[in-house]
Chains A and B, each alone.
Chain A
Amino acid sequence: MDTRDSPEQAELRRGARRLAAELGPATVAELDDEARALRLAGAVRDAGWLELRDADGSSGGPLASGVDTTILADGLAGAVADVAFAGPTLAADLARRAGAARDDRAGVAYGPDLLGVAVVEETVTTERFEVVDLPVDGSAQAFVLVRKDDGYRLAAVAVDDPEPGGRRATDLTRTTGSVRPGAAVVEIPEQRGLTEDDLTAWAALGLALTSADLVGVMRGVLDLSVAYATDRKQYGVPVGSFQAVQHLLAEARCLLEGSISATLYAGWAVDELAPDEARAAGRVAKAYGARAARTVCETAVQVHGGIGNTWECMVHVFLRRALLSTEWFGDDGAQLERLARERLGVPMLGVPMLGVPGVTDGLP
């Protein structure tokens, strides 16, 4: 038992942080700098970071571990890097589990509540689906699942969006798209399909990646807030010298540390534990991290005072990113509900578990 980074993992962590700091948006205005965003996307692609969950030719397993992907998610989110990472990684992982060929222009379509991959019964969808974290050069299509008697088949639908390259709704650093009701569903050829276990393990990766993203957001926004509290003077002294402010930031640091510990395990569990255990580890990390991230980001807004409530202040970019990562694969309430059901054997009658019919989060 040794939870420390291996030398390779430590190098990956440094690399992700360095790249995000160098090419991520330093100011809100820089979010509109398309040349910078393209350089960032190119650097992430050239580093091979979007292929980590592709099949290793010999074993069929992924090229890199769940831990490696969470290290990158954390590193990129720390500087609110506006580059697609978790979305394409989850698409690649789903395709690998189905034994399908790689498609680097594909995203994953989720139900309107973002709890899990969209499932269709027929060849035509009747719901509107959402695609989160589209590849930056525009996703032509997104994966959905077609339910069969013996499991699921991977299929593709066209992403239909009013704006080229998707839209940025709440989160200003990741693009979302939508799939229109009635879109044609085309089964991917030459695949072995997916089982419930495959989907459970895939959901574990989704929970680990979104938890790691929240860790990065907390890390980045806390650094900003400590710097601001040190710099900003009132009554002739830095506001960070007041205990009332210090205690808020100290609590935030603790929440960050607890989230790191839970998320390390969730990332490791993806490839090392049975699917249901890995998903349970992901639920713990997500439930803790979502509550923590909300508190840490709200603390950051407060510590920045009036400026923290303006569009020009970077803090809301972190908060917005945390909100999307929280909802993606389910917020803390959703995780607690499921943990209660899974651990206590409590039937959740009367509690909407899946949000809408035809959407699964990998639960039978």
Chain B
Amino acid sequence: MDFRDSPEEAEFRSRLRSWLADHNPGLPASSTDDEYWARQAEWHTALYDAGFFGLSWPTRFGGHDLPSVFDVILDDELAAAGAPPRPSLGYLVQGITTHGSDAIQERFLPGLISGQERWCQGFSEPDAGSDLASLRTTATRDGGEYVVDGHKVWTSYSDVADWCFLLARTDPGVAKHKGLSAFALPMDQPGVEQRPLRMINGVTNEFGQVVFDGARVAAENMIGEPGEGWRVAMTIVSHEREPGELGYVARYAKSVKEMERAVGADPGAFRPDQRAQVAWAHVQTEMLRLHVRRRLSERLDGVEHGPGGSIDKLLMTWVEQSVGAAALSVSGARAVLDPDDVALKTYLYSRAQSVMGGTSQIQKNIIATRILGLPTE
């Protein structure tokens, strides 16, 4: 057991640190501001071009074939520099590498990893949230193509995406989990209409909804086999739940640091309970930082696509919501009086963490039955 950097890790850390000293774009926190979402592509490209993105992914697709723990170093240093977190797309990479053919991987992974091609994820629908397998968007075979009709929602980055990682029903005649297939669908076509969603904290650039009306996707763009869609989706959501894949620790650490700076500048202006809330947010964030180290170290034994991500998702949710609560507490009346105050936005955004990527209740169902082995009713 060793939490210290190896010589290679230390060299990487120091190289990254000096690069960040000159290249921190100083974007606002991702959770609170449209400017972040507008400029996220630049940040992705800058990280990628400098050799600091896609660290654990295959070299032939633009990654660096490094152990996953290098992502820990990246997150550490982004947090220390107050830089934006890395773009969260590891779960799409896991989905494509696990289920996509060689041709699919070669066609799509380089653009996804480099940021040259941007992606959104078309899973949830207005009537298919937690019960994802009941989704009604259809993809109907028509010669060498599929024709897609339906309505997706909670689609991150749908306004800028070149491709949609689409889950659609290709066989309505079989059980609901068995009739789904996954596709890489081009967004720039007449049959795709994208509408932004304005979220609880006012941000409009993160989530959208997408209506497909006779949209077309080539049959060769299917990811996995016909009917494999549910398994593809489960691979993706299991990684979408992992803080190690998302890099959110850097975002939480940045928020805690800002709170500590505010309180530390004038300690007498804050009550002991406010200081204790900031300390608790620090404790939670530290726990998650260490938990990610442990999880990514375990990947040295091989990556698993199991239910463990549900534990990590709940821990991450509690951390994000503790940080949000502390921000609200420290800001006090300012949070409700000053429309530009960032604390209210941080707090409001934190409430979504127990819903997105599978609700906390769904995670607890998974932990109870698949990890604890409790009986089902």
Contacts and interface: CB of A to CB of B under 8 A. Distances in A.
Given A340-B279, A344-B278, A261 B290 contact: yes
A249 B366 CA distance: 12
Interface string A255-268: 00111111011001
Given A237-B375, A343-B279, A345-B264, A249 B287 contact: no
A258 B69 contact: no
A245 B375 CA distance: 11
Contact of B294 (A247, A264, A272, A343): A264
Nearest to B369: A246
Nearest to B272: A351
B298 interface: yes
Interface in B273-312: 275-276, 278-280, 282-284, 286-288, 290-291, 293-294, 297-298, 300-301, 311
Contacts of A339: 279, 282-283
A343 B318 CA distance: 22
Interface stretch (B2-10, B53-61, B348-356): B2-10
- Per DSSP, are chain A's interface residues mostly helix, strand or loop, or mixed? helix
A1 B6 contact: yes
A347 B1 contact: no
Interface string B366-377: 011101111111
A242 B377 contact: yes
A132 to B, nearest CB: 24
B365 to A, nearest CB: 7
A1 B1 contact: no
B332 interface: no
Contacts, number: 167
Contacts of B377: 237, 241-243
A288 interface: yes
A158 interface: no
Nearest to B264: A344
A261 B278 contact: no
B267 interface: yes
Contact of B368 (A247, A269, A333, A340): A247
Interface stretch (A4-12, A15-23, A79-87, A147-155): A4-12
Nearest to B9: A1
Contacts of B282: 284, 339, 343
B364 interface: yes
Contact of A340 (B275, B288, B314): B275
Nearest to A344: B264
Contacts of B293: 1, 3, 261, 265
Contacts of B2: 1-3, 268, 272
Contacts of A268: 1-3
B374 A240 contact: yes
Nearest to A349: B268
Contact of B298 (A4, A226, A246): A4
Contacts of A9: 1
Contacts of B298: 4
B307 to A, nearest CB: 11
B363 interface: yes
A246 B361 CA distance: 10
B195 to A, nearest CB: 35
Interface in A188-238: 226, 229-230, 237-238
A307 interface: no
B47 interface: no
Nearest to A338: B279
A67 B372 contact: no
A30 interface: no
Interface size range of chain A in the complex: 35 or more
B311 A230 contact: no
Nearest to A262: B287
Given A1-B6, A246-B369, A258-B315, A346 B374 contact: no
B335 interface: no
A247 to B, nearest CB: 4
A36 B361 CA distance: 44
B2 to A, nearest CB: 6
Contact of B372 (A250, A272, A337): A250
A287 interface: yes
B1 A5 contact: yes
Nearest to A70: B1
A3 B294 contact: yes
B314 A254 contact: yes
B263 interface: yes
B260 A2 contact: no
B113 interface: no
Contacts of A347: 267
A245 B363 CA distance: 14
Contacts of B253: none
B72 interface: yes
B275 A226 contact: no
Contacts of A337: 272, 276, 279
Interface of A: 1-6, 9, 67, 226, 229-230, 237-238, 240-243, 245-247, 249-251, 253-254, 257-262, 264-265, 268-269, 272, 283-284, 287-288, 333, 335-337, 339-340, 343-347, 351
Given A2-B69, A250-B314, A284-B283, 20 more contacts: A1-B5, A2-B1, A238-B374, A241-B375, A242-B377, A245-B374, A246-B369, A249-B372, A250-B365, A258-B315, A261-B294, A264-B1, A265-B290, A268-B2, A336-B280, A337-B279, A343-B264, A344-B260, A346-B263, A351-B272
26 contacts: A1-B3, A1-B6, A1-B69, A2-B300, A3-B293, A4-B1, A4-B301, A9-B1, A230-B375, A241-B375, A241-B377, A243-B361, A245-B374, A249-B368, A249-B374, A250-B314, A250-B371, A253-B372, A254-B311, A254-B314, A254-B367, A287-B283, A333-B276, A337-B279, A343-B282, A344-B275
Task: Enumerate the 6 nearest inter-chain pairs by beta-carbon distance, A residue then B residue, closest first.
Answer: A246-B368, A261-B291, A250-B367, A250-B364, A346-B267, A240-B374
